[in-house]
Amino acid sequence: MPVPLYLCLHLRDFAAQAIACSHSALQERPLAVLSGEPPLERVFAITRHARQLGMEEGMSRVQAESFSVAVVHRNRQQEESSFAELMQCTQQFSPRVEALSSPQEERCGATLVLDVTGSERLLGSAAQIGATLWHSVCAHGYEASVASACRASAALLAARGTPGVTTIAPGCEAETLAPLPLSVLEPDMVAAQIFESWGIYTLRQLAALPAKSLAARLGQSGLRLQSLARGECNSLLVPTEEPVDAPLIERMELERPVELLAPLLFLLSQMLELLLQRASERALAIASVETCLVLDGPLNSAHFEHCRTVRPTLPERNRLTLLKLIQLDLELHPPKAAVIALHITAYPARAQTAQHGLFAAQSPEAGRMEILLARLRKLVGEGRVGAPELLDSHVPEAFRVTDFQIEQAASRTTVHAVPEQRALALRMVRPPQLVDVEVRGDAPYAMRYEGKRLTLQTSSGPWRTSGAWWTNPAWCREEWDVELQEQSCRCLRLAHEPAAACWYVIGIYD
């Protein structure tokens, strides 16, 4: 069984780092982040430069402004976006990641624990994996600390108390954690005051206390803190795993409004590439893409959005196919104003595969077929391209147009021989052909068809149908099957509308 290996990534004052990384002008300046409602605003997080000036968390706004620092309000949206970026960075090393502190909690730091057990042959030694993770996070502009150990709790304490990259060898947990301050345990206020009154300031001092006396004064919580200080505590990793079918989201803010479609497609192509890469990490494809264009409204007015959704026939992995579908849809439904931001939401799904028969006709590729249909919709309009579907109604020739569906290849089954039967096929005439009909009694007797007067040999009917009498497009008709008295003995289907006194040929029997 492989030896467990855990990595801990800790970012102190993550709320301040997230804002500093998003604004280049604030990266080198001391920064203080305020939280709360005026006039009770307090310093929630500060950067390393502000800490060197003597600033502390919990200061009021007046105290913070007395320092030469930049003071901004907390931006939870920016924190969540930056935290999602960190999660994507860590998931490149392991899918099992637990978020111990995140922007959803009332903390200013971010702490992630990774389970990389058994990844040494793929990613290298523990020191190499930690260094690679540290460089990957620092490349995004963050100041982080990374620690690796065979116990997740030891890696957590080392990352909180030691900057840079720390590697703890198996069996050396207590020795490595001994010089760290007691604050890395994050004890509650009562325990912190008791330890201070005892003169306990480091983990070495806490680990050396008698266990029975410590339990008598602090109970089980004191024993747990001592076990953490000795590096003996085994904690259960609970990874943060989002649902497999969770939507994938990419956002981009534009520096200036864009009116042309070509530059928008260039940006959409890059965003689709990122979405497909994230979907491929889950072994999934893209079932539908929702493109939301934030439009520039008039001065001093709210922005409005132009949202469009494309759904390929089958889940798609080809970026060019998805981009072409979005392009044709936007050309058919262009935005009404300049675009200032792009939001793409992709809904992943499992890719579908079909096993075709050896002698079955080859069907067109799903992606190319969908692009062809999109081009036809652009030419003739929506609602005019698709597959006809009969409606459950007595209305003559009632149908609607639906999307084409590519069905899976049916499995081969045994076909039993049946007696040969003759069946008539009725071929509908569209549009119906207007004819003159002579009536004797209640049945048609002769008709003028194809420039000739033809006598009817036999007739069957009428079949009367009517409906929708309470609406404008009410319908009422009679249908007859007639056989022409000629050498070929053709059989026709006639329709009679009593309200208009008109006869039509609506079908021909084979």
Q: How confident is the model at residue 385 (pLDDT cuts 50, 70, 90)?
A: confident
Q: Which residue among 182, 200, 215 closes a domain?
A: 182
Note whether residue 391 is domain-resident.
Answer: no
Residues 6+ apart with CB under 8 A from 464: 476, 477, 478
Residue 38 and residue 151 in one domain: yes
* C-alpha span between 400 and 390 (Å, rounded): 7
The full DSSP string for 256-322 is EEE--HHHHHHHHHHHHHHHHHHHHHTT-EEEEEEEEEEEP-STTS--EEEEEEE--SS-B--HHHH
Domain termination site, one of 182, 205, 240: 182
Reported as half-sphere exposure (CB side, CA atoms, 13 A), residue 34 has a value of 19
Q: How many CA atoms lie within 13 A of 205 on its CB side?
A: 11
Q: In the predicted model, what is the mean pLDDT of residues 28-46?
A: 85
* 145-149 vs 6-11, strand pairing mode: antiparallel
Do residue 166 and residue 302 come from a single domain? Answer: no
The CA dihedral of 27, 33, 38, 42, to the nearest 10 degrees, is: -150
Over residues 202-235, the pLDDT tens digits come to: 999 999 999 999 999 889 999 999 999 998 888 8
Question: In angstroms, rounded to a whole number, what is the distance separating the alpha carbons of residues 185 and 12?
Answer: 14
Cβ within 8 Å of residue 266, ≥6 positions away: none
* CATH number assigned to the domain comprising residue 334: 3.30.1490.100
How far apart (Å, rounded) are the C-alpha atoms in residues 375 and 308? 16
Closest to 275 (Cα-Cα) out of 249, 245, 293, 254: 249
The position carrying tokens 């077929």 is 369
Mark whether 177 and 271 lie in a shared domain: no
Same domain, 74 and 172: yes
Give the span between the Cα atoms of 127 and 389, in whole angstroms. Answer: 63
Which amino acid does the sequence have at 43? V
Residues 337 and 449 in one domain: no
Q: Are 152 and 297 found together in one domain?
A: no
Residues 32 and 135 placed together within one structural domain of the fold: yes
Instruction: Retrieve residue 16's tokens.
Output: 């301040």
- Other residues' Cβ atoms within 10 Å of the Cβ of residue 336: 9
Give the percent of the chain with pLDDT over 90.
28
Start-to-end CA distance of the chain, whole Å, equals 75
CA distances from 449 to 434, 445, 479, 494 (A): 9, 13, 17, 12
DSSP letter, residue 54: T
pLDDT of residue 405: 67
How far is it, in rounded angstroms, from Cα 216 to Cα 52?
40
Q: Could you tell me if 143 and 292 lie in one domain?
A: no
Q: Do the domain assignments include residue 211? A: no
Does pLDDT of 392 surpass 90?
no
Q: How many whole angstroms separate alpha carbon 18 and alpha carbon 350? A: 34
319 is a domain residue? yes
For residue 289, pLDDT over 90 is answered with yes
Looking at this protein, which amino acid is placed at residue 290?
A: E
Residue 156 — very low, low, confident or very high, per pLDDT cuts 50/70/90?
A: very high
The residue segments making up the domain with residue 47 are 6-182
Cα–Cα distance, 45 to 22 (Å, whole number): 16
Average pLDDT rounded to a whole number, residues 382-402:
81
Same domain, 149 and 256: no
Beta strands 145-149; 426-440: pairing state: unpaired
Q: Average pLDDT for residues 390-416, to the nearest whole number?
A: 66
Look at residues 183, 137, 180, 173 and name the one whose alpha carbon lies nearest to residue 152: 173
Q: Has residue 169 been placed in a domain? A: yes
Closest to 466 in 3D by CA, of 478, 454, 456, 458:
478
Residues 131, 145: contact at Cβ < 8 Å?
no
Asked, for residue 298, whether it belongs to a domain, the answer is yes
In a domain, 504, yes or no: yes
SS3 356: coil
Residue of higher predicted confidence among 251 and 24: 251
pLDDT in tens, 47-69: 888 888 888 888 888 888 888 88
CATH assignment of the domain containing 22: 3.40.1170.60
Domain match, 168 and 316 both = no
Looking at the predicted structure, is the pLDDT value of residue 106 above 70? no
Cα–Cα separations (whole angstroms), residue 39 to 36, 62, 65: 8, 10, 14
Total domains present in the chain: 3
- Bridge partners, 292 (sequence order): 307, 343
Distance CA 92, CA 56 (A): 35
Given 182, 208, 223, the domain boundary residue is 182
Structural contact between residues 468 and 457, judged by C-beta atoms closer than 8 angstroms: no
Q: Helix-strand-coil percent breakdown of the chain, rounded to 5?
A: 30, 30, 40
Considering the domain architecture, whether residues 145 and 69 belong to the same structural domain is answered as yes
* Helical (H) or strand (E) element with 70: strand 70-73
In 3D space, the residue among 129, 127, 116, 133 whose CA is nearest the CA of residue 168 turns out to be 127
Is residue 19 located within the same domain as residue 153? Answer: yes
* Residue 360: predicted pLDDT: 65
Encoding tokens for residue 481? 């099957």
- Tens-place pLDDT, residues 418-446: 556 666 788 888 888 999 999 888 889 89
Residues 6 or more apart whose CB falls under 8 angstroms from that of 245 comprise: 347, 348, 349
Can you tell me whether residue 114 is helix, strand or coil?
strand
**Tens-digit pLDDT profile for residues 243-274:** 777 888 898 888 889 999 999 999 999 999 99
3-state secondary structure of 474: coil
